[in-house]
Amino acid sequence: MQIKIDQKVLADATMWVSRAFPSKNDDIIATSIALEANLDGTLSLTVYNYDAFATCTIAGDVTQDGKIVTPGKKFAEICKTLPLGDVNITATDTRLTIKASSFVSNLPLVDLDIYPELPQVPAPSIEVAASVFANAINQTYIATSREENSASLSSLKITFDGEVAEMLSTDRYRLAKRTFNYKATDEEVQYEMLLPKKEANEIARALENQDLVQIGVNAKESKVSFASFATKNMQIGTSTYDALFPAIDSLFNVNYETLVTVSRKALIDAIRRVSVVVSVDSHLRLTFLEENIILRAGNEESSDATESIKGTREGGDEITVACNPSYLLDGLNAIVEPNVQIRINDSIKPFEISGVTDEGKQNADYRYVMVPIRM
């Protein structure tokens, strides 16, 4: 294999596929990178950790094609620090040589015979605007659990059915739901997958500055076991979880008696100021009056803070609810509209937050539900 390629292009591509390196595994295959040069003037870089893979294809001047595997983390570090300009990569049967200006480095090769084939994924059957899919992940990722041993709570449930997709997440204390439109290349598309949160986060990052993401799946009876997410020159593939996702749909079908509308920024700023006096495991109390919201935190025995902001309550009586201020800020920061509507029935049942435009129109595409803390 022999190829000449621009340093910045190579470094960017290497950094992109490096997201598939495992964080806690030093397995020689999982931490290797595969390079495949083709005479059509392309170089494909791939990292595969058995559960997920990342592939990026870039243009270069290929004089000899071939495929090799080399220690990936060392290769990535070298590419990142190379001087700007052309990089020459050549490979023999035992060594990979990287040259840039006066810099020369040799790396050992990993036996191709032990490097596994990537999972076979069917042609894409779903297309989504990249920014829409990335935003949906970011808005639901916040409600996933930090418990890595719980597959269902540390994943995003994505359902494709009809013309509208649904993305759900929960950590038991809060729930997030985002709906979005997609285009199916097959009229019979009906899939359900549990996408691991780590891979979901990497997919969202990978879709920055991309136009379209194409999704292909391996599925049996609509249950997805492996999915790939591809853009023009990049692809991430991942195994999905086989677990039972909590039955939370009913929590998004509640009739609320009390609706409170408030400026999103004003509420966020007030929460941040009032929450300064409380510890991480303490709670914030919100009292919804007819024209104001009173925020309280702490207690008189130590530190406390109180603030009143404008907010309009429709229906119901005065309600005081306690909640985790960090969780509340997560939901508010995920909303893009200038105002939010808090829909609530009492102080102990879950309440819902969604965005509202300046014209008073509610955006039902994104909904965030929180379970109150019992006072």
pLDDT of residue 307: 96
- Exposed / middle / buried, residue 255 (Cβ in 10 Å: 0-12, 13-18, 19+): exposed
Decide which of 114, 138, 167 is a domain's last residue. 114
Domain assignment present for residue 227? The answer is yes
- Asked, for residue 120, whether it belongs to a domain, the answer is no
**Are both 229 and 319 inside the same structural domain?**
no
Do 243 and 142 lie in one domain? The reply is yes
What share of the chain has pLDDT > 90, as a percent? Answer: 77
pLDDT confidence of residue 280:
61
- Is 375 part of any domain? no
Instruction: Answer yes or no: is pLDDT of 304 > 90.
Output: no
Q: Are residues 29 and 78 in the same domain?
A: yes
Residues 103 and 9 in one domain: yes
Residue that is last in its domain, among 71, 94, 114: 114
Q: Is residue 293 part of a domain?
A: yes
Is residue 66 predicted with pLDDT exceeding 80? Answer: yes
Residue 103 shares a structural domain with residue 144: no
pLDDT tens digit string along 233-242? Answer: 899 999 999 9
Predicted local distance difference test score (pLDDT) of residue 331: 97
| Confidence check: pLDDT of 158 > 70 | yes
pLDDT for the residue 360: 85
Q: Are 35 and 44 in contact (CB under 8 A)?
A: yes
Q: Which residue has the higher pLDDT, 304 or 6?
A: 6
Average pLDDT of the residues in 212-220: 91
Q: Are 340 and 356 in contact (CB under 8 A)?
A: yes
pLDDT at 187: 72
| β-strand partners of 169 | 176
For the cut 90, the answer to whether the pLDDT of residue 22 exceeds it is no
Residues 279 and 321 in one domain: yes
Non-local (6+) Cβ contacts of 205 within 8 A are: 19, 134
Kind and range of the H or E run holding 157: strand 155-161
248-272, pLDDT tens digit by residue?
988 998 999 999 999 999 999 999 9
Instruction: List, for residues 87-113, the tens digit of each pLDDT value.
Output: 999 999 899 999 999 999 999 999 999
Average pLDDT over residues 321-342: 96
User: Is 119 a member of any domain?
Assistant: no
Q: Model-level pTM?
A: 0.90
Domains identified in the chain, total number? 3
CATH number at residue 237: 3.10.150.10
Q: Cα(302)–Cα(261) distance, rounded to whole angstroms? A: 32
Residues 6+ apart with CB under 8 A from 241: 151, 152, 155, 194, 195, 196
Of the two residues 321 and 185, the one the predictor is more confident about is 321
* Angle, CA of 262, 176 and 160, to the nearest 5°: 130
In a domain, 218, yes or no: yes
Does residue 92 share a domain with residue 28? yes
User: Looking at the predicted structure, is the pLDDT value of residue 25 above 90?
Assistant: no
Predicted pLDDT of residue 335: 97
Q: What is the pLDDT of residues 353-369, one digit of tens each?
A: 999 998 888 899 999 99
Does some domain include residue 208?
yes
138 and 238 both lie in a single domain: yes
pLDDT for res 281: 64
Query: What's the whole-number mean pLDDT along residues 288-307?
Result: 89
Are both 313 and 344 inside the same structural domain? yes
Q: How confident is the model at residue 374 (pLDDT cuts 50, 70, 90)?
A: confident
Distances (CA, A) of 351 to 89, 145, 174, 192, 230: 58, 19, 10, 27, 37
Residue 175 has a pLDDT of 97
Percentage of the chain surpassing pLDDT 70? Answer: 99
Q: Quick one: 267 and 243 in the same domain?
A: no
Are 19 and 49 members of one domain? yes
| Domain finish residue from 64, 89, 114 | 114
Beta strand extents in 162-281 (DSSP E only)? 164-170, 174-181, 183-184, 190-196, 212-220, 223-230, 234-239, 258-263
Domain that holds residue 108: 2-114
Examine residue 65 and state whether it is found in any structural domain, yes or no.
yes
**In a shared domain, residues 56 and 142:** no
